[in-house]
Amino acid sequence: MARIVALVGGVTGGAALAHPHVFIDTKVEVILNDRNEATAVRVSWTYDDLYSLFVVGDMGLDPDWDGKLTGEEEARLAGFDMNWIPEFQGDTYALIDDRELTLSRPTEWSASYADGKITSVHLRSFDVPVPVAPGPLLVQVYDPGFYTAYTIAFDPVLTGGTGCSAVAYGPDPDAADEALKAALAEYSASEDVEADFPAVGKNYAEEVRVTCGAP
């Protein structure tokens, strides 16, 4: 992601402009029933060291800086990132046959702190079970405004189902960079790009593709 930050700064000519600002390693778990229908997605976010340090310090956690939280502190940390405004889609999108599916607001959240990084976990359910076959079911992670960069850094997990598989795919980074470069070129020198950053995040989307045979 460092290359992307350098590209943005180079195109705009402003050293203060740097997107993305937050980096998150993501784990995706898709939960299936015995009919190979997806019922929910569990999402894990591991925040970068700098952002984690900011949150821990801002919340007054780990005052002795030993890198460990007490049970009480961990309980306070849980849900720190779950107070979503109504229009926020959770930076997680599920699709099948190019049709976007509705995911619930987050539930069953928790958080932990280890090795200088915060990891938060939450569950999002489908309105109705989603048949995966023939599929595939796509679970994409990205921030449309590219303030946050998501990387699927862990093997995807399938819970339940029979004869199903899940594979993670990344974007074409060169194509995404070119699209970002073209979008930024539309701004004049007097415009505040930082305040109105183009919605290029989808070009950097990473996704898990779930396929199943007939149940």
Query: Which residue ranges make up each domain of the chain?
Result: 23-172+203-212
SS3 label, residue 178: helix
* Beta strand spans in 33-191 (E): 37-47, 92-96, 99-101, 107-114, 117-131, 137-141, 148-152, 157-159, 164-169
pLDDT of residue 166: 97
Q: Are 118 and 77 in contact, with CB atoms under 8 Å apart? A: yes
CA pair distance 56, 165, nearest whole angstrom: 37
Q: Return the pLDDT at 202.
A: 87
Q: Phi and psi at residue 113, in whole multiples of 5°?
A: -140, 120
Q: What is the model's pLDDT at position 176?
A: 78
Would you call 53 helix, strand, or coil by DSSP?
Answer: helix
pLDDT value of residue 8 = 45
pLDDT in the model for residue 196: 65
Per-residue pLDDT of the chain (215 residues; tens, 9 = 90+): 333 443 444 444 443 345 699 999 999 999 999 999 999 999 999 999 999 999 999 999 999 999 999 999 999 999 999 999 999 999 999 999 889 999 999 999 999 999 999 999 999 999 999 999 887 999 999 999 889 999 999 999 999 999 999 999 998 888 877 887 887 777 767 666 666 676 678 888 999 999 998 65
